[in-house]
Chain A
Amino acid sequence: MKRREEQAMEILEAADQSLLEVIDHVLNKGVVVSGEAMLGVAGVDLVYLRLSALLCASDRVQARARKK
């Protein structure tokens, strides 16, 4: 089985804007249930940083498209 970080990076690289929004809400927000066998919290910070960069990138793409 792939490591969670690898799985996260694969999804993020292929995601469109609407999936990025779903990922941000579902993976970065919500109640954190403590004391259970989490999938692994370590991946979440990584997802968050990359997600932030991707949200910016797609905004720049949209801005360029509007100028045409």
Chain B
Amino acid sequence: MSPPLNVYALSDAPPPVEVRGAQGEAVRALPAGSLFALAGEVDQRPDLTADAVRAHDAAVRRLAVACPALLPVRFGSIADEVDFSEREAELLEALELVRDREQMTLRVYGEPEQADRGSGTAYLESLRRSRSIPALDPLRAALAPLVRAERTEPHEGPLIASVYHLIDRGSAPEYLRALAGVALAVRVAPTGPWPAWSFAPEPLR
């Protein structure tokens, strides 16, 4: 049996240079249809430790530098073989979206909007509005020239949402400057740039 593979990312082309994985191993580009799974042969599956998580992050970042179009793969994806035939079209579409781009992550803190329970329609409309985080509209307007795609993820409690923005590679300083110039009713904490972690297609259930 072949050694298990620790999968770090998917791309549409092999990295043009040698890249090291989380355990210092050489990352191989394994063809899977039109895609390549970028993976390293490992002796055993990594334990879930802070160091292992940081090492996975670092390996994905190294691969992102080498590959213009890259979708990171979740930590702990140990495979004997890779087959994406059922999802190839949507993965290729996602790779096109993230090509030459990177991600900024915003944590949004504030008071959750109260849902309007006046009528069923009003309730659904207020629910839809709160999911899109209308408090961020001034920020969206200010960042519009830089943001290529947005994903939002509502949460419960003082952390009301996470917002993920896809921007052109290298434009993070400009993004942060634009963000700093916007007055908002909520507090926003940015991190990044990250590889495009939040722009993968939804997992199949």
Residues of A within 8 A of B (CB): 1, 4, 7-8, 11, 14-15, 18-19, 21-40, 43, 52-53, 55-56, 59-60, 63
Contact = CB atoms under 8 A, between A and B. Distances in A.
A18 B192 CA distance: 11
Looking at chain B's contact residues, the main secondary structure is mixed
A50 B80 CA distance: 31
A4 B53 CA distance: 13
A14 B49 CA distance: 11
Given A21-B105, A22-B54, A27-B53, A36 B79 contact: yes
A32 B74 contact: yes
B107 interface: yes
Q: Which of A15, A36, A63 has the most CB of B within 10 A?
A: A36
B50 interface: yes
B79 A37 contact: yes
B72 A31 contact: yes
- The A interface, classified by DSSP as helix, strand, loop or mixed, is helix
A59 B48 contact: no
B163 to A, nearest CB: 13
B88 to A, nearest CB: 12
Contacts of A19: 50, 53-54
29 contacts: A1-B47, A7-B49, A11-B50, A19-B50, A19-B53, A22-B53, A22-B57, A24-B162, A26-B72, A26-B74, A29-B72, A29-B200, A30-B75, A31-B73, A31-B91, A31-B200, A32-B203, A33-B82, A34-B204, A35-B79, A36-B78, A36-B79, A37-B80, A38-B77, A38-B78, A39-B45, A39-B78, A59-B159, A59-B189
